[in-house]
C-alpha cells in the first residue's frame, strides 16, 4: 500500500470512530449530555480541591495559572471514564 492510501484509511477510521451518540442523563425531566455533567462535576471537584489546598496552606504564594483548569479537565475526564466507559 502507498503512504497516501494508508493515510486516507487512517483519516476515515478516525472520522468514523466518533459517530456513536453521547449518553444522556435525565435531570429533572430534561436530558443533558453526559459530557456536560462530567464537565460541571470536574469544575466543582477542582474548586473543592482548591479550597482544601488553601485551607491546608499549600501554595501560600498562589498556584500556577494553568493548574486549576487542568485539574478540572483531569477530574472531568476521570469522571467520564468511571461513569460512562462501558456506554457509547
Q: Provide the pLDDT for residue 22.
A: 63
Tell me the percentage of the chain whose pLDDT exceeds 70: 89
C-alpha cell at 24: 444522556
Is the pLDDT confidence value at 86 over 80?
no
pLDDT tens across 10-21, in order?
A: 888 777 766 566
Q: Provide the pLDDT for residue 41.
A: 93
Q: Stretch 31-38: mean pLDDT, rounded?
A: 81
C-alpha cell at 57: 496552606
The model carries a pTM of 0.64
Q: Are 78 and 38 in contact (CB under 8 A)?
A: no
Average pLDDT of every residue of the chain: 81
What do you get for the CA distance between the two ends of the chain, in Å?
A: 32
Map out the domains of the chain as residue ranges: 21-84
Amino acid at each position: 500500500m502507498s503512504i497516501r492510501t494508508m493515510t486516507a484509511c487512517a483519516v476515515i477510521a478516525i472520522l468514523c470512530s466518533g459517530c456513536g451518540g453521547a449518553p444522556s442523563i435525565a435531570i429533572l425531566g430534561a436530558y443533558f449530555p453526559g459530557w456536560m455533567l462530567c464537565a460541571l462535576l470536574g469544575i466543582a471537584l477542582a474548586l473543592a480541591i482548591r479550597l482544601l489546598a488553601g485551607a491546608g496552606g499549600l501554595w501560600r504564594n498562589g498556584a500556577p495559572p494553568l493548574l486549576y483548569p487542568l485539574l478540572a479537565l483531569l477530574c472531568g475526564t476521570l469522571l467520564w471514564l468511571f461513569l460512562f466507559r462501558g456506554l457509547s
